[in-house]
Amino acid sequence: VIVKMESSPAVLRIGELSRRLGVSEHVLRAWERRYGLLRPARSAGGFRLYSEADAQRIRRMQHHLGQGLSAAQAARAAIEDGSAATRPVPDSDLTAQDEAMRALTAVLEEFDEPAAQAVVDRLLSTVTIELVIRDVLMPYLHELGDRWERGEVSVAQEHFASNVVRERLAGLGRGWGRGHGPLAMLACPPGEQHDIALVAFGVVLHRHGWRVDYLGANTPLDDLVRAVAATRAELVVLAATVPEAFGRVAGELARLAGSARVAIAGAGASGSLADSVGAEWLSGDPVTAAERMPVPGRH
């Protein structure tokens, strides 16, 4: 027998739900986004509509919070209480990746590093590293940035969470200098601190046959030029989030591109910028770009 849990009609707008339960709209939205506590339907006009089942889950959440559970624990308990009697109908568009993103959001916000590693471990046992990076870790970082911008997570939470993700990625890249493939040198131009996507790119590039020398954030261009000459790297990839990071070193970049294969990437890169310095532009996400990078000498 299949019992549909969400059988009550979805009729409440968020304002009314908020008034009825005495929980602010802001908090309701946060519980929905972070913990999947609310499962609104959409009106024809695109508004979220909530049901009695949503209201009950909030009441259970309030009850568990009152017992001293953390928000994440209370939400988990509220959702489980509701499904004990009646099995929830699986939400077909909630993939393992979506669930993992939610779980990461919840545990990293509470500074729970082991739990975050466990989420990634679980995922890695079922899907490839490429999918974990492209569909979970990168989107997670975007969401983290959005929430930081809106003031929903503190700088401490953002730093903690992005460091856990960065360290995990770096761990996946361990030994990326090994092998017999061509060498790629990866760096961010001076002033650029955002290097996590570049680490992700390196991880996937190595899995596709390249060796990786990783210089990382804020690298002086003359040092990079010397390192490229010393190692005879076949490819140099520079990533930055703002165009000025490339613009400031355009002259040096053009010179480097005269003697080596250079590509630029990240939100600060563009086709026109690449053309202006004689480099290639790697558009799109780091995983796909690394998968598409042909390995020289391989057919």
Among 106, 107, 198, 228, the residue binding ligand B12 under the rule CB under 6 A is 198
What is residue 218's DSSP assignment? S
- Which position among 71, 104, 120, 144 is part of the footprint of ligand B12 (CB under 6 A)? 144
36 and 105 Cβ atoms separated by less than 8 Å: no
Residue 11 or 267: the one with the smaller Cβ distance to ligand B12 is: 267
Which of 231, 239, 237, 243 is closest to 257 using CA atoms?
Answer: 237
Rounded to 10 degrees, the C-alpha dihedral 27/30/34/38 comes to 80
C-beta closer to ligand B12: residue 103 or 199: 199
Q: Beta-strand (E) ranges in the chain?
A: 10-12, 41-42, 48-51, 183-187, 211-216, 235-239, 262-265, 280-282
Per-residue interface string for the shown chain with ligand B12, residues 243-272, x marking contact by CB under 6 A: ----------------------xxx-----
Q: Report how far residue 126's alpha carbon sits from residue 122's, in angstroms, rounded to the nearest whole number.
A: 7
CB-wise, 53 or 256, nearer to ligand B12?
Answer: 256
Give the whole-angstrom CA distance, residue 150 versus residue 146. 6
Residue keyed to tokens 């929830």: 88
Question: Cβ-closest residue to ligand B12?
Answer: 145
CB of 3 to ligand B12, least distance (A): 40
CB of 143 to ligand B12, least distance (A): 8
The stretches of 8-95 forming alpha helices (DSSP H) are: 14-21, 25-35, 52-66, 71-85
Please report whether residue 285 would count as binding ligand B12 according to CB under 6 A: yes
Instruction: Determine, following the binding rule CB under 6 A, whether residue 141 of this chain makes contact with ligand B12.
Output: yes
Q: Is 219 in the site for ligand B12 (CB under 6 A)?
A: no
201 binds ligand B12 (CB under 6 A): yes
173 is an interface residue for ligand B12 by CB under 6 A: no
**Residue number with CB closer to ligand B12 (51 or 162):** 162
Per the CB < 8 A criterion, the answer to whether 130 and 204 are in contact is yes
Are 114 and 102 within 8 A, CB to CB? no
Stretch near ligand B12 under the rule CB under 6 A, chosen from 33-41, 122-130, 143-151, 176-184: 143-151
Report the C-alpha gap between 129 and 283 in whole angstroms.
Answer: 20
Give every strand in the sheet of 10-12, ordered side by side.
10-12, 48-51, 41-42
Least separation in angstroms between CB 145 and ligand B12: 2
Instruction: Answer yes or no whether residue 162 interacts with ligand B12 by CB under 6 A.
Output: yes
Q: Would you count residue 275 as binding ligand B12 (CB under 6 A)?
A: no
Sign of the CA dihedral with 190 first, then 185, 170, and 285 last: positive
Query: Which residues are registered as beta bridge partners of 238?
Result: 187, 264
To ligand B12, the closest distance from the beta carbon of 170 in angstroms equals: 10
Quick one: 18 or 219, whose CB is closer to ligand B12?
219
**Closest separation between CB of residue 103 and ligand B12, Å?**
18
Total residues interacting with ligand B12, rule: CB under 6 A: 32
167 lies in the binding site for ligand B12 (CB under 6 A) = no
Q: Closest CB to ligand B12 among 101 and 265?
A: 265
Question: Which residues are at the interface with ligand B12 (CB under 6 A)?
Answer: 138, 141-142, 144-146, 149, 158-159, 162, 166, 191-198, 201, 217, 237, 239, 241-242, 265-267, 282, 285-286, 289
